[in-house]
Chains A and B, each alone.
Chain A
Amino acid sequence: VTVEERLRELEDREEIRALHVSNADALERKDFAAYAELFAEDGVLAAQLGGATGREAIRTLLEEAIGTDPDARPAAFHLVANPQIELDGDTARTRVLWVYLTHDEGGQPIILQLGHYDDVLTREEGRWRFQRRDITRDFGRSPLT
């Protein structure tokens, strides 16, 4: 293994971790244009609220289901944790835990739902992007229902 390859692996892992944080950040800001940009051109999103292929379709799906007002109440955010990253050249697979935090009527923090992301990532034009993201809720309930 060359120094170049060892460095590349460290850089890849760091960039992929940052991709997951950018994704949670875009979701928190309800900036679904930025969210969709994190996907490959023909990327696939498979979520409980529906599925979409391609950036434009992903953006439309999320804007219609969730809305675009970053100040909508109740306030909520996604905590992403436990990243597991398997690298294979220009492809990677990741599993990440997500925790949806919001508050109850009294203002106390609560975990409304949690689950995990299963992702296939691809290096496209020198950047890692989501080729496919499957979102699974393990327990709790959606704020949209």
Chain B
Amino acid sequence: MSDDLADRLQALEDQQAIWRLFMDYRRALDRRDWEAYSQLFTEEGEWMGNLGRAKGPAAIKELLENVPAGEFFDPQQGADFHLIANPEITVDGDRATSESTWCFITRNDEKEQPLLAMIGHYVDVLVRDGDRWKFQRREAYSDIPLTEFDTS
């Protein structure tokens, strides 16, 4: 197989592997499985967003475990969903960057009706880690309602 063909195949596989990383992230988040969630980040991997910021799997896990009840999401699993859409993934060798949209759908207790509670976007730096991809950096922005945080 020519190098050109090998590269094209690898690029498609990498894009799909990164999308699967986003699905693993979403699943761990909605299940409140912070151990699985934190393992999707490299040792130096950083998360930042409404809940604060943390670096490395252990610190990320601790940050998520200590979200006050009722703030942003119900600590009880299964009460809400993240919907991930519009992935734009650019792979460059063992690194990649991406932006994607997230929607946060919660339960309106009075009516039992689903409610689109927040919409935002992720800005990611990803790296190849052995035979899979991990987050080197994930910035989780909320656009509706708009919230801001320091990304320096």
Contacts and interface: CB of A to CB of B under 8 A. Distances in A.
A145 to B, nearest CB: 12
Nearest to B9: A6
B16 interface: yes
Interface residues of B, number: 24
Interface in A81-102: 81-84, 97, 99
A140 B114 contact: yes
A97 B113 contact: no
B27 A111 contact: no
Nearest to A140: B114
8 contacts: A6-B9, A81-B84, A84-B20, A84-B23, A84-B27, A111-B114, A139-B112, A140-B113
Given A111-B105, A114-B81, A140-B112, 16 more contacts: A3-B1, A3-B5, A6-B13, A7-B9, A10-B9, A10-B13, A10-B16, A81-B83, A83-B23, A84-B27, A97-B81, A97-B83, A110-B113, A111-B115, A114-B114, A139-B114
Interface of B: 1, 5-6, 9, 12-13, 16, 20, 23, 26-27, 78, 81-85, 105, 107, 112-116
